[in-house]
A and B are shown apart, each in its own frame.
Chain A
Amino acid sequence: NAGVTQTPKFRILKIGQSMTLQCTQDMNHNYMYWYRQDPGMGLKLIYYSVGAGITDKGEVPNGYNVSRSTTEDFPLRLELAAPSQTSVYFCASTDTRLAGVQETQYFGPGTRLLVL
């Protein structure tokens, strides 16, 4: 299993541009998440999904949109990029139908985004 994969690894955007961060998991997990991590800080939840077709806002959803058309994919869309969106973005997944240690979230390698 590849686990959670993200593309691209790094991207530079100009202010006002748009882009989609891709996230795919091959573990048949039902829950998926998008986080951002600012320098020297912990992670903050942007959006999450409990299954295909169902998404909900996290702590910091403004400026982002998501969709979940399949179990495997959970893309994050940035519209009208702003310098405040410069961050590292992590996608994660978990299977809430399992018990014990399997309940942890599995993280992708991250996408580093710089908005200039």
Chain B
Amino acid sequence: ELKVEQNPLFLSMQEGKNYTIYCNYSTTSDRLYWYRQDPGKSLESLFVLLSNGAVKQEGRLMASLDTKARLSTLHITAAVHDLSATYFCAVDRRGATNKLIFGTGTLLAVQP
């Protein structure tokens, strides 16, 4: 059974600081997704990582994928308040079934 774990579950940061969110998964996969969810809102796609070593960057967020370690990271650079949200990683089983297993999410609170 594919399991997806994120840590930390809650992260309080000061503006301007850097931090990393980790996403570990239990079985082989080569497709990983990052989503953002604002309180009471739907999910917004951030990154799609489709191969080992993939790195994607958008603004202050950078995501990477290491399929051998079964690990993805979401790095936040010089955090700003607007990044406050819950971040989810989701993994598709190898073979691209297009059925995603979601992590429990990381609630990020950026304090001024």
CB distance from A43 to the nearest CB of B (A): 5
Which residue, of B42, B101, B103, has the highest number of chain A Cβ atoms within 10 A? B42
- On whether A43 and B99 interact (CB within 8 A), knowing A104-B45, A105-B45, A110-B42, the answer reads no
The size class of the interface chain A forms with chain B is 20 to 34
B104 at the interface (CB under 8 A from A): yes
B33 at the interface (CB under 8 A from A): yes
Give chain A's interface secondary structure class. mixed
CB distance from A74 to the nearest CB of B (A): 14
Contacting residue for B99 out of A41, A45, A90, A108, CB 8 A: A45
A53 at the interface (CB under 8 A from B): no
Tally inter-chain residue pairs, CB-CB below 8 A.
Answer: 55
**A31 CA / B98 CA spacing, docked (Å):** 8
Contacting residue for A100 out of B43, B48, B104, CB 8 A: B48
CB distance A42 to B42 under 8 Å?
no
Report chain A residues within 8 Å CB of B48: 100-101, 103-104
B102 at the interface (CB under 8 A from A): yes
Chain A, residues 83-101, CB within 8 Å of chain B (1/0): the string is 0000000101010100011
CB distance from B90 to the nearest CB of A (A): 8
Which residues of chain A have a CB within 8 Å of any CB of chain B?
31, 33, 40-45, 48, 58-59, 90, 92, 94, 96, 100-101, 103-110
